[in-house]
Amino acid sequence: MSETKLSCACGQVTVEAIDNAPCAFSAICHCADCRSITGAPFFWANGWPSDQIKVTGETISHVHIQNIRHSCAKCGSFMFEPVPGFGITMLPAARLNNPTPPMMHVFVKSKVYQLPEDGLPRFDEMPPMG
Ligand SMILES: [Zn+2]
Ligand SMILES: [Zn+2]
């Protein structure tokens, strides 16, 4: 079993990284989409290749701008979001049992809250991947 795992607030849905695959991407996103779904001033995302993510439990989904976002069907916790253009699935890092520290800030141009300087690179949008 994987050690990298998260559960929703009610425990009905779990998401895990298959074979404890390493996190491929970690960023703090300031975009309007992330703020909309989390209700928070920014979203800390940990991403894995989409084929390395296993979901257990019943989820509901909705299309938001261009991505499909999945939440627990019972408690509504936002659980995961595949990003087709990058081939990775974003998970809410703050709910993971072992989150990977952020590597960068992205979509800083959309920020509503200015985090203090933390030494991480800051990008107006998404930097080129790979
Ligand atoms: Zn739930
Ligand atoms: Zn975002």
SS3 47: strand
SS3 116: coil
Q: What is the pLDDT of residue 63?
A: 87
Q: What is the pTM of this model?
A: 0.90
Please give the average per-residue pLDDT across 104-110, as a whole number: 97
User: Sorting pLDDT into bands at 50, 70 and 90, what band is 130?
Assistant: low
The answer to whether residue 101 sits within a structural domain is yes
Total of domains in the chain = 1
Nearest ligand for residue 66 CA: 2
SS3 content of the chain, % helix, strand, coil (to 5): 15, 40, 45
The answer to whether residue 95 sits within a structural domain is yes
The answer to whether residue 124 sits within a structural domain is no
The answer to whether residue 125 sits within a structural domain is no
The answer to whether residue 36 sits within a structural domain is yes
Q: Kindly tell me if the per-residue pLDDT of 35 is higher than 50.
A: yes
The whole domain housing 54 covers 5-110
> Average pLDDT, whole number, for the chain?
92
Nearest ligand for residue 90 CA: 2
Q: What is the pLDDT of residue 90?
A: 95
Q: What is the pLDDT of residue 84?
A: 82
The answer to whether residue 126 sits within a structural domain is no
Residue 53 Cα to ligand 2 midpoint, Å, equals 19
The predicted-structure confidence for 37-93, as pLDDT tens digits, reads as follows 889 999 999 999 999 999 999 999 988 777 899 999 999 999 999 988 889 999 999
Q: What CATH number has the domain bearing residue 57?
A: 3.90.1590.10
The answer to whether residue 28 sits within a structural domain is yes
Q: What is the pLDDT of residue 110?
A: 96
Nearest ligand for residue 126 CA: 2
Nearest ligand for residue 14 CA: 1
- Cα 57-40-127 angle, rounded to 5 deg: 90
User: Sorting pLDDT into bands at 50, 70 and 90, what band is 1?
Assistant: very low
Q: What is the pLDDT of residue 120?
A: 97
Burial class (CB in 10 A: 0-12, 13-18, 19+), 16: buried
Task: Using a CB cutoff of 5 Å, list residues around ligand 1, an ion.
Answer: 8, 10, 12, 72, 74-75
